[in-house]
Structures are given as structure tokens and as C-alpha cells.
Chain A
Amino acid sequence: MYGGGFIPDENPKKQTEAVAEDPALLAEFQARIDRGEKIEPHDWMPAMYRKQLIRMIEQHAHSEIIGALPEGTWITRAPGFRRKMALIAKVQDEIGHGHLLYTAAETLGKPREQMINDLLSGKSKYSNVFNYPAVTWADVTVIGFLIDAAAIVNQLANSKGSYGPYCRALERICAEEAFHLKQGHDAFVYLATGTPQQHEMLQAAVNRWYKPIIHFFGPSDKESVHSEQLMRWKVKMASNDDMRNQFLDMYVPKVREVGIDFPDPNLKKDPETGKWNFSDPDWDEFYEVIKGNGPCNAERLAVRKWAEEKGRWVRQALATPYTKSTVPLA
């Protein structure tokens, strides 16, 4: 899943402290990216490029791990063996994706332990959608279909980016996401075309997830100072609005074709511009949840800490003389 579409930026004051880079190196770096070459861990790169990538990949990794929590607890309650097997496989994939992404971020020089500490302390963020509860099985279905679908839009774009290790991780992730999306769609269609109660349960879940889904790609980034530079460096590959629009283009029809709809009378495609319009999704709520005040922020982090604390003795028992941290090669 879960390329957390939106990466909260640092506070604008800190952003303006640009590091002066050697113009010749900078030009060469830009030329390499323009030629479509990938940047590898030991290549020269601007400090801002490194910093933004670390933040982006790290938050993506956290999203994979935290995103597995609402789904993981439904494994024991999945309706039937087939759904249970699919969910186990999916959750394991998500944890694997977290690993791949942490590794990619580590190649840029931030140790895994530090990333985990930043997650646990709340310093480092993850995708906002996982701060909402999965109340019923239909919520898991909506996550598996629509949140994964949104993440794929984001990840496919990013996999064409400029940083080699991130692209390689994303290529692998996207291949596995194809299964997540299909199994999510399968479960979604089963509920939508099932009994009236199932249909109703699914519609109720879609109603709960509509706002978080619109939030997923983040607010319009047209005014962001950094966006343009990051797009030139192929760190950010598409604007939040473009990705959201692409997602709505692809998935609104798939939701509507089974008699389910999003709870927004203003969700319409403008035939002239090709852009989707929608009601204001309450961006204040979005920022509140980022700040840690969403319905599940505290629970998610507490569960993640629980895993850390309860797993520690295993890691210590396994420790050997050559357990010093190393930076993965590529």
C-alpha cells in the first residue's frame, strides 16, 4: 500500500534556510537527472535533495508499518478462509514494503533505529488515513481497495523518480500492490453485490472513508515553494491535485458501477477542464490529525511501541558480535 501521498512539510521558517551548493556540481546533477539517469547512494547530491528524500521515504516506510495495524487486527475476524489468507499475505507484504523503504532511506545516511525512534516519538509522520479506525469488515475492504488504489497512483508516479534505491523498492512494491488492489476490489464487489445488509455496511464504510480519501493526496500544492524544485529533481513526480484527479478518474466509476457512491453531491467531473470538483473536505481536520489529534493517533503509536517493547528480548537474544549497524549497499 500506502505511499502516503502527502508528506507534511517542515515549518516554512526552516525551509528558507537554503544550503549554498556548488553551482557546477548542481548543474551537473540536474543534467544527469534531465538525461533520465538515476542517482545512487554515493553520488554527489544537494543537501536539500538528500533531506527531502529521507523524509519522504521514511514517512512512506512508517505508513506501510502503521497501515498494517488496522488491517492486521482484522485477520482473526476475516469472513472466511479465503479472505483470511489474502489478508495475511497482504499484511505481510506491507511490513515487507516498510522494510524495503527503510532500507532505501538508510542508504541516504539515516540509521533505521533513528527512524523508528522518530516515529515512536511522534516527530516523524505517516499517512493520515491510518489515524482513522477500521470499525467493520467493510472498512478493511475500503482500505484494501480504495486506499491501496490511491497509494498506487502515488507510488507509480514516484517509481519514475530520480533516486535509484527508492525506484527499485517502488517497482517491487507496485508489483505486489497489484495483488492488493485486486483482492480489495474483489472483496468490495462481493459486499456491494451481496445482501442488502452487506451493501449497506459497505456504503456506510465508504461514507466514513470519503474525507480521508480526499485528504490522502494532501492539499493543493500549487503555492508550495518547494514543489517546483522537487519536481525538477524528480523527487516529487506529480502535483497533489493531479494525482487526486487521476485517482478519481480511475476509481469513481468502479465504485459507482456497483451501486455505491461517495457521500458528496458536488463530486462531479467538469467536462470542460477534465477536473473533478468536490466539496471542501475540511482541511482543518486534516491538519488536526497530522498534529496527532485524530481518532487513532495515540492508539497506533501505543501499539507500535508495544511491538517494540515486546520484541526487544528477541532482538537481544539474537545479538552477536557483528551486529553493528551498516548502511545497505544500494
Chain B
Amino acid sequence: MSDQNKSLDPRIARLELPQGESIVKPDEYWGTFEVFLQEKRGKFHQHVGSVHAPDQEIALVFAKEQYARRGKCVNMWVVKTTDIFAFPLADEDMFTTTPDKQHREAGMYKVRDRIQAYQEREKKI
């Protein structure tokens, strides 16, 4: 930039701004880690997003800066994204019948009617 010294900004006017192109190389920003945050002791860690980092320790530092600037947090996990193994989203139909499995639910088991019928029957005798 030829007129760099004309910047209104004193801090920028002092920089030696680069001339020409800048190119970022592939992989320069590393891989990603998934971040899990625990809001309170006793609660589950929950997925909150991801960070780019060169290793797990730096990932934790970036995770704290990125996801724990505000609000409650007592602990964080980071996991390499490639280490997470998940069902394909397209397979979500395998869960669709789950809500129909009433035999697994407490609400399915109702015997009050039967008890009442029994008691009425017994009284008659």
C-alpha cells in the first residue's frame, strides 16, 4: 500500500504493512477439536462447538477463550473431531419407532381400574 503513512490511525501508520500477496498454506490453521462444557458440578458436559488447534492443550486454551468468556463453567473437555464416531444423520429413521415403544414407559402400566373392579366385586360377595 503506497499511501500507508496517510492512515488516520496512528497505530496503523506505525506498522510496516506488507506489500504484495499474502497466502495462507493448506493446514496452516490446523485441525479441529470439539468442545464440551460443564456448567456446574454434577451436570453433564455438553457440546458447545469446536476450535482449531495444533494439539489438545492449546485446544483447551482456545476453548476457554472462545466458549467460557461469560456464564457458568467449571470444566471443559476437548476431543479431536476425527475421534468422534457418529451415526449417519440419514439413519435417523431407526429411532422413529422409539416413542411408540410404550411397554418401556411407566405410563403404559395402569391397573387402578382393575383394582377398583376387583374391590367392587369382592364387596358384593
Contact = CB atoms under 8 A, between A and B. Distances in A.
Contacts of B8: 133, 135
Contacts of A42: 88-90
Given A42-B89, A308-B22, A329-B84, A303 B12 contact: yes
Interface stretch (B23-31, B104-112, B116-124): B23-31
Say whether chain B's binding surface is mostly helix, strand, loop, or mixed: loop
Interface in A311-330: 312, 315, 318-320, 322-330
A326 B54 contact: no
Given A325-B30, A328-B50, A329-B50, A43 B89 contact: yes
A111 B30 contact: no
Interface stretch (B38-46, B65-73, B93-101): B65-73
B11 to A, nearest CB: 5
* Range, interface on chain B: 35 or more
Given A106-B32, A303-B12, A315-B54, 9 more contacts: A42-B89, A100-B66, A133-B8, A303-B17, A315-B28, A315-B30, A319-B30, A319-B54, A327-B32
13 contacts: A42-B88, A93-B69, A111-B26, A113-B25, A113-B28, A117-B23, A120-B21, A172-B49, A303-B12, A303-B15, A305-B17, A315-B28, A325-B30
Interface of B: 1, 4, 7-9, 11-12, 15-18, 21-32, 34, 47, 49-52, 54-55, 58, 65-66, 69-70, 80-82, 84, 86, 88-90
Interface of A: 40, 42-44, 73, 76, 89, 92-93, 96, 99-100, 103, 106, 111-113, 116-117, 120-121, 133-135, 168-169, 172, 176, 298-299, 302-303, 305-306, 308-309, 312, 315, 318-320, 322-330
